[in-house]
Structure 1
Protein backbone atom coordinates (compact mmCIF):
# COMPACT_ATOMS: atom_id res chain seq x y z
CA UNK A 1 0.00 0.00 0.00
CA UNK A 2 1.24 3.45 -0.91
CA UNK A 3 0.72 6.19 1.68
CA UNK A 4 0.79 9.87 0.77
CA UNK A 5 1.49 12.11 3.76
CA UNK A 6 0.38 15.70 3.18
CA UNK A 7 0.80 18.74 5.41
CA UNK A 8 -1.86 21.45 5.42
CA UNK A 9 -1.38 24.80 3.68
CA UNK A 10 -0.32 28.07 5.26
CA UNK A 11 -2.52 28.97 8.23
CA UNK A 12 -3.35 32.22 9.99
CA UNK A 13 -0.99 31.24 12.81
CA UNK A 14 1.93 31.51 10.37
CA UNK A 15 1.02 35.15 9.76
CA UNK A 16 0.36 35.93 13.42
CA UNK A 17 3.59 34.20 14.47
CA UNK A 18 2.00 32.27 17.30
CA UNK A 19 2.30 28.71 18.55
CA UNK A 20 -0.21 26.61 16.71
CA UNK A 21 -0.42 22.99 17.82
CA UNK A 22 -3.98 22.59 19.07
CA UNK A 23 -4.90 26.22 18.37
CA UNK A 24 -7.50 25.87 15.63
CA UNK A 25 -6.58 28.41 12.95
CA UNK A 26 -7.97 28.44 9.41
CA UNK A 27 -6.01 28.52 6.18
CA UNK A 28 -4.97 31.87 4.70
CA UNK A 29 -5.85 32.79 1.12
CA UNK A 30 -2.29 31.84 0.16
CA UNK A 31 -2.80 28.55 1.99
CA UNK A 32 -5.90 27.85 -0.12
CA UNK A 33 -3.96 28.54 -3.32
CA UNK A 34 -1.23 26.16 -2.12
CA UNK A 35 -3.83 23.49 -1.41
CA UNK A 36 -5.41 23.78 -4.86
CA UNK A 37 -2.00 23.39 -6.52
CA UNK A 38 -1.18 20.39 -4.32
CA UNK A 39 -4.57 18.78 -5.02
CA UNK A 40 -4.15 19.17 -8.79
CA UNK A 41 -0.70 17.55 -8.62
CA UNK A 42 -1.88 14.65 -6.49
CA UNK A 43 -4.91 14.05 -8.75
CA UNK A 44 -2.70 14.00 -11.85
CA UNK A 45 0.27 12.01 -10.58
CA UNK A 46 -0.81 9.70 -7.71
CA UNK A 47 -4.48 10.01 -6.73
CA UNK A 48 -5.40 8.18 -3.51
CA UNK A 49 -8.36 5.82 -3.24
CA UNK A 50 -9.20 7.11 0.25
CA UNK A 51 -8.19 10.03 2.49
CA UNK A 52 -7.75 10.25 6.25
CA UNK A 53 -7.59 13.72 7.79
CA UNK A 54 -7.09 15.65 11.00
CA UNK A 55 -10.12 17.42 12.43
CA UNK A 56 -8.32 20.77 12.97
CA UNK A 57 -9.55 23.44 10.53
CA UNK A 58 -6.32 23.94 8.58
CA UNK A 59 -5.92 20.22 7.83
CA UNK A 60 -9.64 19.53 7.49
CA UNK A 61 -9.99 22.16 4.75
CA UNK A 62 -6.85 20.85 3.03
CA UNK A 63 -8.16 17.27 3.12
CA UNK A 64 -11.65 18.30 2.00
CA UNK A 65 -10.31 20.21 -1.00
CA UNK A 66 -8.17 17.21 -1.96
CA UNK A 67 -11.15 14.85 -1.65
CA UNK A 68 -13.35 17.12 -3.77
CA UNK A 69 -10.65 17.48 -6.43
CA UNK A 70 -10.08 13.74 -6.69
CA UNK A 71 -13.62 12.58 -5.99
CA UNK A 72 -12.83 10.09 -3.24
CA UNK A 73 -14.11 9.40 0.26
CA UNK A 74 -12.60 10.91 3.37
CA UNK A 75 -12.60 10.08 7.08
CA UNK A 76 -11.62 12.57 9.78
CA UNK A 77 -9.88 11.39 12.95
CA UNK A 78 -9.26 13.40 16.12
CA UNK A 79 -6.15 11.29 16.73
CA UNK A 80 -4.52 12.90 13.66
CA UNK A 81 -4.59 16.33 15.34
CA UNK A 82 -1.29 18.09 15.96
CA UNK A 83 0.65 17.67 19.21
CA UNK A 84 -1.35 18.90 22.17
CA UNK A 85 0.81 21.83 23.25
CA UNK A 86 -1.55 22.76 26.06
CA UNK A 87 -1.15 26.26 27.44
CA UNK A 88 1.13 27.27 24.55
CA UNK A 89 -1.62 26.95 21.91
CA UNK A 90 -2.25 30.38 20.40
CA UNK A 91 0.42 32.18 22.44
CA UNK A 92 2.92 34.43 20.70
CA UNK A 93 6.48 33.11 20.60
CA UNK A 94 7.44 35.88 23.03
CA UNK A 95 4.67 35.07 25.54
CA UNK A 96 5.49 31.37 25.37
CA UNK A 97 9.02 32.01 26.71
CA UNK A 98 7.52 32.13 30.23
CA UNK A 99 6.82 28.41 29.99
CA UNK A 100 10.02 26.35 29.84
CA UNK A 101 9.85 23.44 27.38
CA UNK A 102 9.81 19.91 28.81
CA UNK A 103 13.30 18.44 29.25
CA UNK A 104 12.26 14.79 29.41
CA UNK A 105 10.17 12.71 27.03
CA UNK A 106 7.56 11.98 29.71
CA UNK A 107 7.10 15.63 30.74
CA UNK A 108 4.26 17.81 29.47
CA UNK A 109 3.59 21.48 29.01
CA UNK A 110 0.65 22.45 31.25
CA UNK A 111 -2.59 20.93 29.88
CA UNK A 112 -0.66 19.27 27.04
CA UNK A 113 0.70 15.85 26.16
CA UNK A 114 4.22 14.50 26.47
CA UNK A 115 6.40 13.45 23.52
CA UNK A 116 5.79 9.82 24.49
CA UNK A 117 2.02 10.30 24.61
CA UNK A 118 2.06 12.08 21.25
CA UNK A 119 4.09 9.34 19.60
CA UNK A 120 1.90 6.58 21.05
CA UNK A 121 -1.25 8.36 19.86
CA UNK A 122 0.15 8.54 16.33
CA UNK A 123 1.41 4.93 16.49
CA UNK A 124 -2.12 3.83 17.41
CA UNK A 125 -3.92 5.73 14.65
CA UNK A 126 -1.27 4.73 12.08
CA UNK A 127 -1.73 1.07 13.03
CA UNK A 128 -5.51 1.48 12.68
CA UNK A 129 -5.16 3.13 9.28
CA UNK A 130 -2.73 0.65 7.73
CA UNK A 131 -4.49 -2.45 9.07
CA UNK A 132 -8.02 -1.35 8.17
CA UNK A 133 -7.27 0.11 4.72
CA UNK A 134 -8.01 -2.19 1.78
CA UNK A 135 -6.82 0.34 -0.78
CA UNK A 136 -3.75 0.42 -2.99
CA UNK A 137 -3.05 4.06 -2.18
CA UNK A 138 -4.28 6.30 0.65
CA UNK A 139 -3.54 9.84 1.77
CA UNK A 140 -3.15 11.14 5.31
CA UNK A 141 -3.61 14.91 5.60
CA UNK A 142 -2.28 16.27 8.86
CA UNK A 143 0.40 18.46 10.48
CA UNK A 144 4.18 18.73 10.58
CA UNK A 145 4.50 17.13 14.00
CA UNK A 146 2.10 14.33 13.10
CA UNK A 147 3.96 13.63 9.86
CA UNK A 148 7.22 13.46 11.82
CA UNK A 149 5.71 10.86 14.15
CA UNK A 150 4.25 8.92 11.21
CA UNK A 151 7.64 8.83 9.49
CA UNK A 152 9.42 7.84 12.70
CA UNK A 153 6.89 5.04 13.06
CA UNK A 154 7.39 4.02 9.41
CA UNK A 155 11.18 3.88 9.92
CA UNK A 156 10.74 2.17 13.31
CA UNK A 157 12.72 4.94 14.99
CA UNK A 158 12.78 5.69 18.73
CA UNK A 159 10.71 8.42 20.37
CA UNK A 160 13.74 10.72 20.78
CA UNK A 161 13.64 13.73 18.51
CA UNK A 162 17.14 13.41 17.10
CA UNK A 163 15.77 13.45 13.55
CA UNK A 164 13.33 15.95 12.08
CA UNK A 165 11.59 15.47 8.74
CA UNK A 166 10.92 18.82 7.10
CA UNK A 167 7.42 19.46 5.79
CA UNK A 168 6.76 22.73 3.99
CA UNK A 169 3.26 24.08 3.39
CA UNK A 170 1.30 21.37 1.50
CA UNK A 171 4.42 19.18 1.39
CA UNK A 172 3.86 15.73 -0.11
CA UNK A 173 5.70 12.62 1.11
CA UNK A 174 5.17 9.26 -0.61
CA UNK A 175 6.00 6.04 1.21
CA UNK A 176 4.98 2.43 0.67
CA UNK A 177 4.51 -0.63 2.83
CA UNK A 178 4.60 -4.07 1.19
CA UNK A 179 4.62 -7.54 2.70
CA UNK A 180 8.43 -7.50 2.82
CA UNK A 181 9.61 -3.89 2.47
CA UNK A 182 9.16 -0.29 3.52
CA UNK A 183 9.90 1.99 0.56
CA UNK A 184 10.47 5.75 0.45
CA UNK A 185 9.54 7.19 -2.95
CA UNK A 186 10.17 10.83 -1.95
CA UNK A 187 9.89 13.25 0.97
CA UNK A 188 8.87 16.93 1.29
CA UNK A 189 7.93 17.60 -2.33
CA UNK A 190 6.72 21.18 -2.63
CA UNK A 191 7.54 21.67 -6.33
CA UNK A 192 3.86 22.41 -7.05
CA UNK A 193 4.35 25.72 -5.19
CA UNK A 194 6.76 26.92 -7.91
CA UNK A 195 3.66 28.26 -9.70
CA UNK A 196 3.28 30.85 -6.93
CA UNK A 197 6.74 32.37 -7.44
Structure 2
Protein backbone atom coordinates (compact mmCIF):
# COMPACT_ATOMS: atom_id res chain seq x y z
CA UNK A 1 0.00 0.00 0.00
CA UNK A 2 1.59 3.27 -1.13
CA UNK A 3 1.09 6.20 1.24
CA UNK A 4 1.02 9.60 -0.43
CA UNK A 5 0.69 12.43 2.07
CA UNK A 6 -0.35 14.93 -0.57
CA UNK A 7 -3.44 12.86 -1.39
CA UNK A 8 -5.24 13.31 1.91
CA UNK A 9 -3.42 15.89 4.03
CA UNK A 10 -1.64 15.49 7.33
CA UNK A 11 -3.89 12.96 9.05
CA UNK A 12 -6.40 10.27 8.19
CA UNK A 13 -8.22 8.08 10.69
CA UNK A 14 -9.74 4.81 9.50
CA UNK A 15 -12.55 3.03 11.34
CA UNK A 16 -12.87 -0.65 10.48
CA UNK A 17 -16.24 -2.08 11.54
CA UNK A 18 -17.44 -5.66 11.25
CA UNK A 19 -21.11 -6.34 10.56
CA UNK A 20 -23.51 -7.60 13.23
CA UNK A 21 -24.56 -11.19 13.84
CA UNK A 22 -26.06 -12.78 10.73
CA UNK A 23 -28.44 -15.69 10.16
CA UNK A 24 -25.51 -17.88 9.13
CA UNK A 25 -24.24 -17.75 12.72
CA UNK A 26 -27.54 -19.25 13.91
CA UNK A 27 -27.77 -21.81 11.11
CA UNK A 28 -24.16 -22.94 11.63
CA UNK A 29 -23.25 -22.70 7.96
CA UNK A 30 -20.30 -21.29 6.07
CA UNK A 31 -20.89 -17.70 5.07
CA UNK A 32 -18.33 -16.03 2.81
CA UNK A 33 -20.28 -15.04 -0.28
CA UNK A 34 -23.54 -16.56 1.04
CA UNK A 35 -25.76 -13.48 1.37
CA UNK A 36 -27.48 -13.79 4.77
CA UNK A 37 -29.29 -10.97 6.57
CA UNK A 38 -28.71 -9.80 10.13
CA UNK A 39 -30.52 -11.46 13.03
CA UNK A 40 -32.55 -9.48 15.56
CA UNK A 41 -29.58 -9.71 17.91
CA UNK A 42 -27.36 -8.47 15.10
CA UNK A 43 -29.59 -5.44 14.57
CA UNK A 44 -29.42 -4.67 18.28
CA UNK A 45 -25.63 -4.91 18.14
CA UNK A 46 -25.53 -2.60 15.13
CA UNK A 47 -27.73 0.02 16.80
CA UNK A 48 -25.44 0.06 19.85
CA UNK A 49 -22.35 0.32 17.64
CA UNK A 50 -23.86 3.16 15.60
CA UNK A 51 -24.66 5.18 18.72
CA UNK A 52 -21.10 4.73 19.99
CA UNK A 53 -19.59 5.76 16.66
CA UNK A 54 -21.86 8.82 16.53
CA UNK A 55 -20.79 9.86 20.02
CA UNK A 56 -17.07 9.05 19.95
CA UNK A 57 -15.74 8.47 16.42
CA UNK A 58 -17.97 10.27 13.93
CA UNK A 59 -16.64 9.68 10.38
CA UNK A 60 -17.22 11.87 7.33
CA UNK A 61 -17.98 9.03 4.90
CA UNK A 62 -18.82 5.33 5.19
CA UNK A 63 -17.67 2.70 2.69
CA UNK A 64 -19.32 -0.72 2.85
CA UNK A 65 -19.55 -4.15 1.29
CA UNK A 66 -22.67 -4.80 -0.78
CA UNK A 67 -23.49 -8.11 0.95
CA UNK A 68 -26.70 -7.83 3.01
CA UNK A 69 -25.19 -8.22 6.48
CA UNK A 70 -22.63 -5.47 5.90
CA UNK A 71 -24.91 -3.26 3.83
CA UNK A 72 -27.61 -3.25 6.52
CA UNK A 73 -25.00 -2.57 9.21
CA UNK A 74 -23.65 0.37 7.22
CA UNK A 75 -27.11 1.67 6.37
CA UNK A 76 -28.08 1.84 10.04
CA UNK A 77 -24.76 3.52 10.84
CA UNK A 78 -25.41 6.06 8.09
CA UNK A 79 -28.95 6.75 9.30
CA UNK A 80 -27.92 7.18 12.95
CA UNK A 81 -24.92 9.39 12.21
CA UNK A 82 -26.20 11.26 9.15
CA UNK A 83 -22.98 10.32 7.34
CA UNK A 84 -23.14 9.47 3.60
CA UNK A 85 -22.73 5.83 2.57
CA UNK A 86 -20.87 4.53 -0.47
CA UNK A 87 -21.23 0.84 -1.35
CA UNK A 88 -18.23 -0.96 -2.84
CA UNK A 89 -18.57 -4.45 -4.34
CA UNK A 90 -14.84 -5.00 -3.95
CA UNK A 91 -15.29 -4.99 -0.15
CA UNK A 92 -17.32 -8.23 -0.28
CA UNK A 93 -16.10 -11.16 1.81
CA UNK A 94 -13.80 -13.90 0.50
CA UNK A 95 -15.41 -15.80 -2.36
CA UNK A 96 -15.56 -19.34 -0.99
CA UNK A 97 -17.38 -20.68 -4.05
CA UNK A 98 -19.28 -23.94 -3.56
CA UNK A 99 -18.68 -23.82 0.18
CA UNK A 100 -20.90 -20.74 0.64
CA UNK A 101 -24.06 -21.53 2.57
CA UNK A 102 -23.17 -25.17 3.26
CA UNK A 103 -23.47 -26.72 6.72
CA UNK A 104 -20.07 -27.26 8.33
CA UNK A 105 -20.26 -31.06 8.04
CA UNK A 106 -21.47 -31.01 4.46
CA UNK A 107 -18.71 -28.60 3.45
CA UNK A 108 -16.04 -31.08 4.55
CA UNK A 109 -16.52 -33.02 1.32
CA UNK A 110 -14.75 -30.20 -0.49
CA UNK A 111 -10.96 -30.18 -0.02
CA UNK A 112 -9.72 -27.16 1.88
CA UNK A 113 -7.34 -24.96 -0.17
CA UNK A 114 -3.76 -25.65 0.90
CA UNK A 115 -1.64 -23.27 -1.13
CA UNK A 116 -2.08 -19.52 -1.59
CA UNK A 117 -3.16 -19.99 -5.20
CA UNK A 118 -5.66 -22.79 -4.46
CA UNK A 119 -9.39 -22.09 -4.37
CA UNK A 120 -12.73 -23.71 -3.74
CA UNK A 121 -14.62 -24.48 -6.96
CA UNK A 122 -16.21 -21.27 -8.30
CA UNK A 123 -14.30 -19.25 -5.69
CA UNK A 124 -11.13 -17.16 -5.47
CA UNK A 125 -7.68 -17.94 -4.14
CA UNK A 126 -6.18 -16.35 -1.03
CA UNK A 127 -3.83 -14.35 -3.23
CA UNK A 128 -6.70 -13.06 -5.38
CA UNK A 129 -8.71 -12.14 -2.28
CA UNK A 130 -5.86 -10.24 -0.65
CA UNK A 131 -5.01 -8.42 -3.87
CA UNK A 132 -8.66 -7.41 -4.34
CA UNK A 133 -8.82 -5.93 -0.85
CA UNK A 134 -5.39 -4.32 -1.17
CA UNK A 135 -6.53 -2.63 -4.39
CA UNK A 136 -9.82 -1.21 -3.06
CA UNK A 137 -8.09 -0.08 0.15
CA UNK A 138 -5.47 1.80 -1.85
CA UNK A 139 -8.20 3.40 -3.99
CA UNK A 140 -10.18 4.50 -0.93
CA UNK A 141 -7.10 6.01 0.73
CA UNK A 142 -5.99 7.78 -2.44
CA UNK A 143 -9.45 9.32 -2.91
CA UNK A 144 -9.89 10.37 0.73
CA UNK A 145 -9.95 14.09 1.50
CA UNK A 146 -11.63 13.52 4.87
CA UNK A 147 -10.04 13.37 8.31
CA UNK A 148 -11.89 10.19 9.31
CA UNK A 149 -13.53 7.48 7.22
CA UNK A 150 -15.33 4.24 8.12
CA UNK A 151 -15.19 0.90 6.32
CA UNK A 152 -17.94 -1.59 7.17
CA UNK A 153 -17.08 -5.09 6.04
CA UNK A 154 -16.42 -8.69 7.07
CA UNK A 155 -13.97 -10.56 9.28
CA UNK A 156 -11.86 -11.79 6.40
CA UNK A 157 -11.86 -8.40 4.71
CA UNK A 158 -10.84 -6.61 7.91
CA UNK A 159 -8.00 -9.09 8.31
CA UNK A 160 -6.76 -8.24 4.82
CA UNK A 161 -7.11 -4.51 5.51
CA UNK A 162 -5.06 -4.84 8.70
CA UNK A 163 -2.43 -6.93 6.93
CA UNK A 164 -2.20 -4.23 4.29
CA UNK A 165 -1.94 -1.48 6.91
CA UNK A 166 0.89 -3.33 8.70
CA UNK A 167 2.60 -4.38 5.44
CA UNK A 168 2.43 -8.02 6.54
CA UNK A 169 3.52 -10.76 4.12
CA UNK A 170 0.62 -12.39 2.32
CA UNK A 171 1.81 -15.83 3.42
CA UNK A 172 2.02 -15.03 7.15
CA UNK A 173 -0.14 -17.33 9.25
CA UNK A 174 -1.72 -14.69 11.48
CA UNK A 175 -5.36 -13.82 12.14
CA UNK A 176 -6.96 -10.75 13.76
CA UNK A 177 -10.06 -11.82 15.67
CA UNK A 178 -13.05 -9.53 15.11
CA UNK A 179 -16.33 -9.89 17.00
CA UNK A 180 -19.74 -8.81 15.74
CA UNK A 181 -19.73 -5.00 15.27
CA UNK A 182 -16.13 -4.86 16.55
CA UNK A 183 -14.56 -1.45 15.89
CA UNK A 184 -10.89 -0.81 15.11
CA UNK A 185 -9.33 2.63 14.77
CA UNK A 186 -6.20 3.21 12.71
CA UNK A 187 -4.45 6.46 11.90
CA UNK A 188 -2.03 7.63 9.26
CA UNK A 189 -0.30 10.86 10.26
CA UNK A 190 2.16 12.05 7.66
CA UNK A 191 4.23 8.88 7.19
CA UNK A 192 3.60 7.43 10.65
CA UNK A 193 0.99 4.74 11.32
CA UNK A 194 -0.83 4.53 14.65
CA UNK A 195 -3.15 1.83 16.03
CA UNK A 196 -5.52 3.38 18.57
CA UNK A 197 -7.35 0.10 19.26
CA UNK A 198 -8.53 -3.13 17.62
CA UNK A 199 -11.88 -4.94 17.93
CA UNK A 200 -13.52 -2.59 20.45
CA UNK A 201 -16.85 -4.14 21.50
CA UNK A 202 -17.43 -2.01 24.62
CA UNK A 203 -20.81 -0.94 23.19
CA UNK A 204 -22.09 -4.49 23.74
CA UNK A 205 -23.26 -5.99 27.03
CA UNK A 206 -20.88 -8.52 28.57
CA UNK A 207 -23.00 -11.49 27.50
CA UNK A 208 -23.27 -10.06 23.98
CA UNK A 209 -19.48 -9.83 23.72
CA UNK A 210 -19.13 -13.54 24.51
CA UNK A 211 -21.66 -14.38 21.78
CA UNK A 212 -20.06 -12.12 19.18
CA UNK A 213 -17.15 -14.40 18.22
Same fold, judged at TM 0.5 (above): yes
Does structure 1 residue 115 correspond to structure 2 residue 130? no
Moved more, 177-186 or 111-120: 177-186
Q: CA deviation at 1:195?
A: 6.8
Q: CA deviation at 1:100?
A: 1.2
CA RMSD of aligned residues (A): 0.9
Q: Distance in 1 between matches of 2:126 and 2:92?
A: 14
Question: In the TM superposition, what whole-angstrom CA distance separates every residue of 1:109-142 from its partner, at most 9, and x where no partner exists?
Answer: 1000000000000000000000001000000000
TM-score normalized with structure 2 length: 0.91
Aligned residue runs from structure 1 range 52-71, under 5 A: 52-71=63-82
What is the SS of the residue equivalent to 1:59? Answer: helix
TM-score normalized with structure 1 length: 0.98
Does structure 1 residue 11 correspond to structure 2 residue 22? yes
Moved more, 154-163 or 39-48: 154-163
Aligned length in residues: 197
Runs (4+) of structure 1 exceeding 3 A deviation are none
| Alignment partner of 1:187 out of 169, 183, 198 | 198
What is the SS of the residue equivalent to 1:185? Answer: strand
What is the SS of the residue equivalent to 1:188? Answer: strand
Does structure 1 residue 177 correspond to structure 2 residue 179? no
Q: Distance in 2 between matches of 1:192 and 1:110?
A: 39
Does structure 1 residue 141 correspond to structure 2 residue 152? yes
- Consecutive unaligned residues of structure 2, counting only runs of 5 or more, are 1-11, 209-213
What is residue 99 of structure 2 aligned with on the other side? 88
Call closer, same or farther: CA 1:44–1:53 in 2, change over 3 Å.
Answer: same
Call closer, same or farther: CA 1:38–1:196 in 2, change over 3 Å.
Answer: farther
